[in-house]
Copies of this chain bind each other. A is one copy, B any other.
Amino acid sequence: MIEESSLIDFGAEKRFYAKEEYIFKQDQPALFYFQIASGEVKMNNYQPDGKEFIQAIFSAPRSFGEPPLFADIVYPANAIAIKNSLIWRLPKSAFYELLRQKPDTHLRVSQAIAKRLHYKALMAAELAQQSPENRILKILDYLKQEVNNITTPFGYKTDLTRQNIADLTGLRVETVIRTLKELEQKNEVKIINRKVYR
């Protein structure tokens, strides 16, 4: 995450993206550094059969889509606003110049990427293993601890729908619904009028 003052200094513009609007698409090369000022963004893939896989959900003040700025690769997923959002957009060349002039910022960007890689590695191991219970708990715990910094038991109320959880874990809605009920039996989650607490 880069300070707004720096973003402005280096010529970033704050753009509005309507809900459902694409910010970039899979397989495109990267032209900008993006950072959320307000709103929410998801990164996803659509599988051959049309099923969605959500790579991540980001909110302010997080940046996203940096990897292809660094390496000679294309976006591995789409980025789509899931709420009306304001997003800083800094051209690639200016981003490089900013990194060059501000080593601390470069370090923070590296940190952000490192954390994302860490999460992906954990999720990959979880996804490879089959158990729906573990997949779901991993996602919930990640959002609870890493994103929302909550430690109290059942202190995290997710605003993900069952379908969202399915798309994040690669499961089906019905499986998520059934597994969540089993997890409630086992006292791993609480469900209070349909809302999931962890």
Contact = CB atoms under 8 A, between A and B. Distances in A.
A19 interface: no
A130 interface: yes
A114 B71 contact: yes
Copy tally for this chain in the complex stands at 2
Interface string A117-160: 11011111101111000000000000000000000000000000
A6 interface: no
- Interface size class for chain A? 35 or more
A25 to B, nearest CB: 14
Interface string A33-77: 000000000000101000101010000000000111111010011
Contacts of A77: 121, 125
Interface string A68-88: 111101001100000000000
Interface string A85-112: 0000000000000011001001101111
